[in-house]
Amino acid sequence: MSTSIADNQLGLSHSEVQLLRQHQQIALSQQGSSSSRAASHASSQGRLLLDPTSLQALGAHFDRLMYAIQQRWQALSQQTQMATQIQYDRAGNAIEIADAEIARFRAILHEIDELQVEFDKVRRIGEIVKGFRARVDHLERRI
């Protein structure tokens, strides 16, 4: 007869016991063991099978499960790092582009200021020329 233990002696919640039973069934069915029927029978009586074969299968199953979880965690961690790096690069590029546009805008403003100074000079020269022209016209009329 197989060794089994009552569910309530494990100190697990109902959902944890259900999960343990599920994984025990998976482990034993993957192994192709005759213990699978014994585990089902024990489960129907509110007990868990604890014979050496089922415990060995359950241990191997949980090792594979933990390995799969670790692999998935590493893959997700790498994807997160890549996504973070891409966003960091995009932000860096956006900052570089913004800095270049700010520099271009400042150069345009500087050029506008220079043109404004030149415009003021030309306007003053134009006013001086108008003044000379008025004097010349005035002198011509006198002559």
Rounded distance, CA 107 to CA 101, Å?
Answer: 10
Question: Which residues on neighbouring strands pair with residue 49, listed in sequence order?
Answer: 4
**According to the model, what pLDDT value does residue 94 have?**
94
pTM listed for this prediction? 0.56
pLDDT in tens, the chain (143 residues): 458 788 778 888 889 888 888 888 888 887 765 666 777 777 777 777 777 888 888 898 999 999 999 999 999 999 999 999 999 999 999 999 999 999 999 999 999 999 999 999 999 999 999 999 999 989 888 88
CA distances from 8 to 2, 17, 116 (A): 18, 9, 90
